[in-house]
Chains A and B, each alone.
Chain A
């Protein structure tokens, strides 16, 4: 498919027994775009992300991420993407520097590259003084910013962020989004999930999954106009409530 699509998804489907978790979704994300991937709990987001990151084989359909087919070339997908989530990001019992070195090693960076990039990263984050502290000892907000930078260490084309700002204070949350904008301005493609509906407004485009399908997709402004709502929060409720998806099985 065309070169400037970082993510290209055609009719992607995943079934678990009789249950269809993802029922034929089609969308694409351009290089350098910040794409918000929203949906209620149990709507199929996690299953879709696991397929896009090469961790779960699709039942049918097709997806290309960073130029690789997720079913045929899962290992190459994994090399060319970054991933971070609220639940798992860094090793708490390693220092900041050890975490960076570990990730650099996993992605086969040379020692010199690891040294140069970690120096630059720590300077950008103003974390030089904390380089030898255990990650568990540094505040959550810093940890999340560090985790994001580590996910970008091997300069992936696409980065997946799964609820990266959950529980983070309002100033740090916004600093985190500035890191996202900065990465996107440098050409990195960002796919992000969040339960903060104001953050949905920060994305270039968003999709809202409802019961395994994409219920709405577009720029936040287009969606608000087309659905005649004043906020993405209202749109989310309008799409998710009638189907009772909040009462569906857990994701």
Chain B
């Protein structure tokens, strides 16, 4: 498969096993330069294995991966100085200060903080007030900003960020994504993995990943719109009993909690949502949920993920 130079990443039938476990089951996808590309899926789906292969830290068993037009196995020494990698586990030096960590990572790549000042400024400016604080004493969100700064200090052409927002609170997560948007605007190619479905919307395109396979690769909006069954949002004061009742309705395909509503998926693909809403209101009223409201709603990336997943990890398909 030929890689056009417009693509920053081209993965072709990548496979990796660990003993009996298939971590990657033959993945193919490509990421154009300057794209913010998300790999979205639960733990154990193969995200970290994929990122480690692309960052030249792990060798695939089969298939190939090219990053910046270089092979990740053969050209690893050339690639390493051109990529920035932020591992999923916090891997800075806890006993060094913010400034010392940054200086260390700069020196490894033969540069200095001063020389890189201009391009790290947007992130470093948020850290500077704490530059003498030890890394171990930073909050979760600040640790991740420091790790991002260290991954950027040698001016890489592409960034691989493995779950940078896991375990980070909702505010710090937003701030981190704002930083990624700024970096993308400067032309950086960014691959970022996350278990949070709602973060898919911050990406240009996303790959949905589960059990070592890609369920879909597309723009988040297109993935959401690919949901192909009638979807309705149900609100009821007693949510759990309403959920159990809906599972007994005649045309139900799936019912699950979704934010402050329940999402009801109808089994009849062509049926008009408005008609289903009327029907379902009557059904709920007959079951004693007189207060329930039902209205058609637009599917999200998470609805699509659930629909494409089939059975959850480790359970046998019904």
Contact = CB atoms under 8 A, between A and B. Distances in A.
Interface stretch (A23-31, A63-71, A114-122, A164-172): A164-172
Interface in A133-176: 138-142, 163, 166-172, 174-175
A166 B43 CA distance: 9
Interface string B295-317: 00000001001100101111100
B314 A142 contact: yes
A81 interface: no
B227 interface: no
Nearest to A34: B240
A1 interface: no
B272 interface: no
A240 B139 contact: no
A237 B170 contact: yes
A249 B139 CA distance: 6
Nearest to A247: B142
A220 interface: yes
A195 B170 contact: yes
A246 interface: yes
A11 B129 CA distance: 33
B197 A246 contact: no
Interface string B159-174: 0000000111111111
Interface residues of B, number: 46
A227 interface: no
B93 interface: no
Contact of B42 (A140, A177, A231): A140
Counting chain A residues whose Cβ lies within 8 A of the other chain, the interface size class is: 35 or more
Nearest to B313: A139
Nearest to A142: B314
B240 A195 contact: no
Nearest to A182: B240
Interface string B187-215: 00000000111100000000000100000
A246 B141 contact: yes
B166 A167 contact: yes
B122 interface: no
A128 interface: no
Contacts of A189: none
B139 A250 contact: yes
Interface stretch (A51-59, A104-112, A196-204): A196-204
Interface stretch (B5-13, B75-83, B113-121, B251-259): B251-259
Contacts of B170: 40, 195, 197, 233, 236-237, 240
A39 B169 contact: yes
A42 interface: yes
A215 interface: no
Contacts of A231: 259-260
Interface in A82-107: none
Given A175-B312, A201-B260, A169 B167 contact: no
A140 B43 contact: yes
B240 A138 contact: no
B130 interface: yes
Contacts of A43: 169
A195 B168 CA distance: 7
6 closest Cβ pairs, A-B complex: A139-B314, A169-B42, A167-B43, A41-B140, A171-B312, A201-B260
17 contacts: A39-B169, A40-B172, A41-B139, A42-B139, A42-B140, A139-B314, A141-B312, A142-B313, A166-B195, A170-B302, A172-B42, A172-B312, A195-B167, A195-B169, A221-B260, A246-B141, A250-B136
Interface of A: 39-43, 126, 138-142, 163, 166-172, 174-175, 177-178, 181, 185, 195-198, 201-202, 220-221, 224, 231, 233, 236-237, 240-241, 246-251
Interface of B: 41-45, 129-130, 136-142, 166-175, 195-198, 210, 239-240, 243, 256-260, 302, 305-306, 309, 311-315
Given A169-B45, A250-B140, 15 more contacts: A40-B171, A141-B42, A141-B314, A166-B167, A167-B166, A170-B42, A170-B197, A172-B42, A174-B257, A198-B198, A198-B259, A220-B260, A233-B170, A236-B171, A251-B139
